[in-house]
Structure formats: C-alpha cells, structure tokens
Structure 1
C-alpha cells in the first residue's frame, strides 16, 4: 500500500536527519553476539530504594498530576542539593522546573528564549539533539569546534570569534558528550568574561556533573555574575541510572523558568508523578550508590583509554561522563566506514564521530557504561579488527 501522507509533513521536519546514535543501536540489535559500546546508558539498575519509593507512592495513591513545575517537595530537595553540591542557590518555587528528562528541558529552554533567526553558539563535537532542537525553535546553530589539541576543551577566544549581533546564547556541555572533556574553573571563568562582555545567555548541560573523576565539578551558574545568565540543565538519568524514568530539571532566573513552564504546561502538563517520588528518594538517600557507580566508571575509563592507545587508536583521557573519543584517522577510513566494518567483522558497536558534528569526523565514540568483562572482550575484538588496518 502506497503512503501518500509525506506531503503533509512540514519542510523543516523533512530536513532533520534521524539520530546517528540510534541507527547503529538498531543495526546492532538485529545481530547476535554484539557488544554495544554505543548508547550512553548506565549498565547499572536504578538503586532499589529509589524503585521502592516509586512503588510506595503508587500504594499511597499518589497517581494524580503534580503541579506543572513538579512536586514542591522535590524542588525543595533539589534546591538544597544544588546549594550543597554546586554552591548555587535557587528558589524552589520560582526558579526550578521538573521536566521529562534533560532533553525536554533543553528543548523548552530554546523555545522560551529564541526568536526567529537568533543564533546559538554550539560547542562541537556535541550531543546529536542540540543543533536540531535549536532549529526547531527557529534559531540558527553556529558551530565552534573543540579540538584534540586542547583535549577537546573549548577556548573562550574561539567562542568570542563566533559572536555576531544575532548571537543570543551559548550552549556548553561539561563533562561533554561525546568527548568526556570537562571544563575547569579557569576555562569557565574565561567563558564567563565573554558572556558578560557580550550580554549573552548560557545554556549549560550539566547532566554528567556527578560523573567527574579527577577534580571537583564547577557549575557554570556558580561563577560570579553568571547565575542570572545561566539556564542550568540536568537530571537523574546518568548519575542515578534512571534513564528510562525520563526525569530532568532546569534551574534559571524566575522570568526564564516562568516562560519555560508556560510551554511545559501546554505540551506535557507535568513530569510523571511516580518518577518524581523516585527522584526525591534518589536525592535524599542514594549518594552512596552514585559514588559506587562513579568508582566503577573510573576503573573502566582507565582500562579502555590504555587499551585503545596500546592498539594504535590515540585517545585522550576524558575527565568525566562515560565516553572515550579515540581517533581512527590512522586506519584511513571514515568514522562511518570504521563503525560499520567493526560491527560487521567483530560484532562491536561504536558510534561514528561525524554524527556529533563535522568536527567529529575521524573519531568514534565508545561508551564504557558496560561491564569490565564486556569491555575486555570488546577491546580484544577491536585489537583483532585493527591488525591489518593501521597504516
């Protein structure tokens, strides 16, 4: 049967490309004996006390909508958490919004601040949804490339060179997906100077803040004079192994949260109630689980980086998240060719770097959010794959 409905689809949707991450995940799912280093998802199960708290909320009959902005009790707990952990204070009633994952928070943040034609500077390589989300909000993404020369850490001078009279905001993600690069205090201060001088906003995706391995995390909002210029985006997916729960949040000045809440209430109503009760328990009583998972990720990171370098794929040591971003340039293949050949020949799934922007070409993203047993086998298979491919 022929489908004649395509002509009804909006032009700008036709122009959007499907997620390159999901393409390789779908390919791998149809094969046997595949080790997936593709999707960025913890291999840990959500801590049991969080699951139990969610179940208990259902037993108590807490099945109705919450306030649009989320459970006040959760926002109050989150406010305390942000102040204790990141040294930044937010009013629970006016400056916090609970969303359906950090992804929804990013989406409505851009819809709340972008006028048609506004430019948003995006640091690449970057997560696949950033540029499309900006375009869907009517804006124009302007790419600034973080290079291997600086361990994939963006330089403030690069951002400044990209600013025009149309620039509205800068989007940064630290620790970064896909490179794992984490910006330090000096680098953040330099970016803050540029932001202040040019009267800009920063959308700061801090979803991997609790997975920083070698130094303490600095929230961009905690930098002097930056809280009023920052939309802090985060959530519970990565640190608490709650990806399927779809729960995130935004913290920002009152007027911006009010604007985001307008969009949220018309498109979502509120985040799932049982998930919010789970998140409340996670904040109160699951920090030991976060530390345990973080220690395991650190061990895996160290092993994978060493193994990749030894097999001839140069790989910097990422500061956070759970990704490595090795160069595959020595093979002479494109990142797409490399990923497809590795999957077909050795049943190891990685993500080609170009899906994270043109600057990602020549690299692949490998997630080490899987067991050491699986990682050891994956590294052995990759070593066999590379035997006659390194020039």
Structure 2
C-alpha cells in the first residue's frame, strides 16, 4: 500500500498542490506528498468524535490548490472508523470541489461491533475520482510479503504503471501467488482473528478506564489512541519513562502529528497474557504518578 500511495501522488500532483491528510496520521503520507514538491495539509480529528473525520473540518481547509484528500478508515493510529453518513457527506464535498480521493482501506476487514465501514469509491459518481488501496499485511497477516493492490480511474492507473516500470517492474512472483491463495482460500480464520482482536480491544479499553485515562473508542484496526494528560505528563515523556521503568513500549502521538503531546498509541497485537502483563505494569506506573 505504501508504494501505491507514493505512485499515486507522483501521478497526480504538481508543484505547490495541496493534499488534505487526517491528523493524527501515519506520517509517511507526508513524505510522499513532499516528494512531489506539494504541501500536506493536516485535517484535525478529535477525541470527542472518537477521532472520526468530520466533513466540516475538510471544507475549512480546501483552497484553490487542493488536489487530493487522503482518507484512511479504519485509521492508524486512532482505530477510528468514519461513519457511513459522514463518508457520504465527504463524497459530496469531494465532488463539489473536483478533488481526487486516495482511500487507504488496509484495515477495512478489521471493523468491530456497532461500527460500519463504507468504501467511498462505491458511492455514485465517486468511482471516477477515487483510488482505493488495499493489501494483505493486516487482514491476512502477510506483513513480509509486500503485496497489495489499487483500483481507480484508468488514466491515473496507467500513469502509475509507467512510473512503476521505471522503478521495479512488478511485485515478487511468489507474493502474488500467495495473495491469490489468500483471497481464494477459506476465510473462516479471518473472523476468528477479528474476534480475538475485539476481545483484546475491550480488555484494553476497560484497563485504560480503570487507570483514569480517556481515549476515542476505536471502531477498527488494532490501536487505541489514548490521552495520558491525567498522568500529569506529556505523552513523549510518559512513553519514554514507561519503557524505561516497565519495559512496556507505547508510541507517543508526536510520531503521528500530535502537536499537543497528549496522546500515546496502544497496540493490542500481542497475545492476551502479554497484554494483561503490560496493562498491569502500566496501571501501577500511572498510579505512582498521581
């Protein structure tokens, strides 16, 4: 997916164009934008809305230079799933302003109860202005295979193909066969994996509440973006000291564009026994800081 993002930017952008990026975000999107001499424009999301992308925040930041909106739902680092009704509103803004959407849907199959993923490219009149990206590293746990796919307007895809041929021609052959087998094979294990993630998600949310820490409820992916202000510490200092004192590693939100240094990203990928151990250590750490 990362390669597709960069190829898409190179195919669409010109110098001084602007790209709207959800904040907080996985900041390699910024690198791809800057490679094109274009400007990344952060669109803030807020804990009170569970970090879902709000249409009005997009509208405020559109200028005559705006070319692309990057949509990531579920989101990294927040786990936020933008509700279908908001996706529909965002689609209208995109059409009215003649923008292109790059929608990164790498976590689309990891959406939990009471939340719904809607692919913006499936909406009326959006097919011609949407690039939909996905891959196999998250849904099928194929992180080392480096294989993904993109669907979109043929003129943009053709430009991306030309650039790709100048760089590496094609993806690894055995990775392509592996991806096909993953798609065509039994899918029952995916639901089992999602149920296990959901169990860990609920456990972590309960543990964080017991520490007096707030967060935006994650509807997907495997992250909880947690506000550590109640500890009396900045997030960067919190994560550094937590690692030093307990061996528990959490990334500070400053790595994802958090200018206020209030949030940390918690991932619940580890087995439950490891998560329980980490949450107990974190609980004791927070209690000692109060």
Question: Which of the residues 285, 289, 293 maps onto 2:185?
Answer: 285
- Alpha-carbon distance in structure 2 between the residues aligned to 1:302 and 1:212: 13
Are 2:102 and 1:213 aligned?
no
- Alpha-carbon distance in structure 2 between the residues aligned to 1:218 and 1:360: 31
Which deviations, in whole Å up to 9, do the C-alpha atoms of 1:126-155 show, x marking residues without a partner?
012111111112210011100112110121
Question: Which of the residues 300, 303, 312 maps onto 2:212?
Answer: 312
Q: Which has the larger radius of gyration?
A: 1
- Alpha-carbon distance in structure 2 between the residues aligned to 1:191 and 1:359: 25
Aligned twin of 1:179: 78
Say if 2:47 and 2:215, in contact at 8 Å, map to a contact too. Answer: no
The higher relative CO (CA closer than 8 Å, separation ≥ 6) is in 1
Aligned twin of 1:388: 288
1:200 is displaced (CA, Å) by 0.4
Question: Which of the residues 334, 353, 358 maps onto 2:253?
Answer: 353
Which deviations, in whole Å up to 9, do the C-alpha atoms of 1:311-337 show, x marking residues without a partner?
111123210000001100112222111
Question: Which of the residues 195, 201, 215 maps onto 2:100?
Answer: 201
Equivalent runs, 1:49-68 vs 2, <5 Å: none
Runs of 4+ in 1 over 3 A off after TM superposition: none
SS at match of 2:289: coil
Q: TM-score, normalised by structure 2?
A: 0.97
Aligned twin of 2:173: 273
- Alpha-carbon distance in structure 2 between the residues aligned to 1:317 and 1:254: 37
Question: Which of the residues 335, 340, 363 maps onto 2:235?
Answer: 335
Cα RMSD, aligned residues only: 1.1
Which deviations, in whole Å up to 9, do the C-alpha atoms of 1:255-307 show, x marking residues without a partner?
11101111111111100000000000000014212111111101110110111
- Alpha-carbon distance in structure 2 between the residues aligned to 1:386 and 1:218: 37
Cα gap change, 1:353 to 1:167, in 2 (>3 Å): same
Say if 2:135 and 2:147, in contact at 8 Å, map to a contact too. Answer: yes
- Alpha-carbon distance in structure 2 between the residues aligned to 1:288 and 1:360: 42
Say if 2:21 and 2:70, in contact at 8 Å, map to a contact too. Answer: yes
Are 2:17 and 1:122 aligned?
no
SS at match of 1:154: coil
Say if 1:180 and 1:323, in contact at 8 Å, map to a contact too. Answer: yes
SS at match of 1:164: coil
Structure 2 regions of 5+ residues with no counterpart? none
Aligned twin of 1:69: none
Count of paired positions: 289
Say if 1:334 and 1:362, in contact at 8 Å, map to a contact too. Answer: yes
SS at match of 1:320: coil
- Alpha-carbon distance in structure 2 between the residues aligned to 1:299 and 1:248: 28
Say if 1:119 and 1:142, in contact at 8 Å, map to a contact too. Answer: yes
Equivalent runs, 1:1-391 vs 2, <5 Å: 102-214=1-113, 215-359=115-259, 361-390=261-290
Which deviations, in whole Å up to 9, do the C-alpha atoms of 1:151-184 show, x marking residues without a partner?
1012111101100000001011000000000011
Say if 1:185 and 1:218, in contact at 8 Å, map to a contact too. Answer: yes
1:359 is displaced (CA, Å) by 4.7
SS at match of 1:386: helix
- Alpha-carbon distance in structure 1 between the residues aligned to 2:260 and 2:149: 28
SS at match of 1:112: helix
- Alpha-carbon distance in structure 2 between the residues aligned to 1:349 and 1:163: 37
Structure 1 regions of 5+ residues with no counterpart? 1-101
Q: TM-score, normalised by structure 1?
A: 0.73
Which deviations, in whole Å up to 9, do the C-alpha atoms of 1:17-55 show, x marking residues without a partner?
xxxxxxxxxxxxxxxxxxxxxxxxxxxxxxxxxxxxxxx
Aligned twin of 1:81: none
